[in-house]
Amino acid sequence: MNIYLAEFIGTMLLIFLGDGVVAGVILKGTKSENAGWFTIVIGWGLAVALAIYAVGNISGAHINPAVTLALAFNGSFPWEHVPGYCLAQMGGAFTGGVLVYLHYLPHWSRTNDSSIKLAVFCNSPAVRATIPNFISEVLATAVLVLSILFIGANEFAKGLNPLIIGLLVASIGLSLGGTTGFAINPARDLGPRIAHFILPIPGKRDSDWGYSWIPVIGPMVGGLLGAWLYTALF
């Protein structure tokens, strides 16, 4: 399989499962309605692990432009592949958002709160404050990238790395996700946000473009920070 197609499929699977658990918890009339933050965090961690298992041996399963940029920055990934990876990840994330919409089709009209519908697709802060929100995304993504590089430097039983990284994402969600919802991935937020903007979701609100730059630029900066720290310290 082509490496760019693999990144597309991996990111699509990530968003379909990750945004899927969010939809199940917050949309009206689902069997998992009100299952809570812990369910969402564990669902996202498992989504990451499964996406890596799916395409990791083909493309490395970056499934995140911030990770791709960080690995290119520290010299472990060729710069010429960065644009293709990022475009594939964004396309996969958009497609994953469309699949979530289709999967939960009867529940959009049953959900009255338009902000809840938006939250299925993209992040919003618990307390809207531009600088603190940006800092949260930078720090959480720095932890993600730094930890991925730590994990890569250790010996695990064959096949366990994806599961460990999934647990890492769950840990970030539990410990650091309470502020902005831990986007830690520009494609994860922007791709589905575009899907929300385009799709004929009944009773939807605007796609909150005023906030949208934070879960895109913040993770990019955080990824570079994490890669720089790893290179400087180790």
From CA 100, how far away is CA 15, in angstroms rounded? 8
Q: How many domains does the chain have?
A: 1
From CA 39, how far away is CA 14, in angstroms rounded? 16
- Is 169's pLDDT higher than 90? yes
Range of the domain at 179: 3-233
Query: What is the pLDDT at residue 2?
Result: 97
- Name, in order, each residue with C-beta under 8 angstroms of 104's C-beta and a sequence gap of 6 or more: 20, 23, 24, 27, 30, 120
Distance of CA 8 to the CA centre of its chain: 13
- Is 163's pLDDT higher than 90? yes
In this predicted model, what pLDDT tens digit does every residue of 33-86 receive, in sequence order? Answer: 999 999 999 999 999 999 999 999 999 999 999 999 999 999 999 999 999 999
Reference 16, options 104, 130, 143; nearest CA is 104
Reference 152, options 139, 160, 194; nearest CA is 160
CATH code for position 102: 1.20.1080.10
Query: What is the pLDDT at residue 152?
Result: 84
153 against 10, higher pLDDT: 10
pTM: 0.97
120 against 234, higher pLDDT: 120
Q: Are 8 and 58 in contact (CB under 8 A)?
A: no
In this predicted model, what pLDDT tens digit does every residue of 185-195 receive, in sequence order? Answer: 999 999 999 99
From CA 184, how far away is CA 14, in angstroms rounded? 13
- 14-23, 86-95, 147-156, 187-196, range with the lowest pLDDT: 147-156
